[in-house]
Amino acid sequence: AFKVAEDMAQAFGYLNALLIHNQLRQAEDGVIPDNFINPDILTNLERKTLKESFQLIARLYEDIEGNYWSGKILP
């Protein structure tokens, strides 16, 4: 459980840093900052890390859903 929490914290930090960096770039370009990150402007490493972060979040959702619907959390 601790490993999952640690991984999620890292993914959250990465996603927020990527978003803030993107919004700063938008503001510098005179564009109103938004929450859209165009994967085409990311480096290969950034794209790979973004994909891994989303996969981690998806697995966590699946685990939560599985525990919830199986009755492990709620009777």
Residue with structure tokens 């840093």?
17
pLDDT in tens, the chain (75 residues): 688 889 999 999 999 999 999 999 999 999 999 999 999 999 999 999 999 999 999 999 888 887 777 666 655
Q: Which helix (H) or strand (E) holds 47?
A: helix 44-70
Contact 22, 37 (CB under 8 A): yes
Contacts of residue 24, Cβ cutoff 8 Å, sequence gap at least 6: 33
pTM above 0.85, yes or no: no
| Rounded CA separation 46/40 (Å) | 10
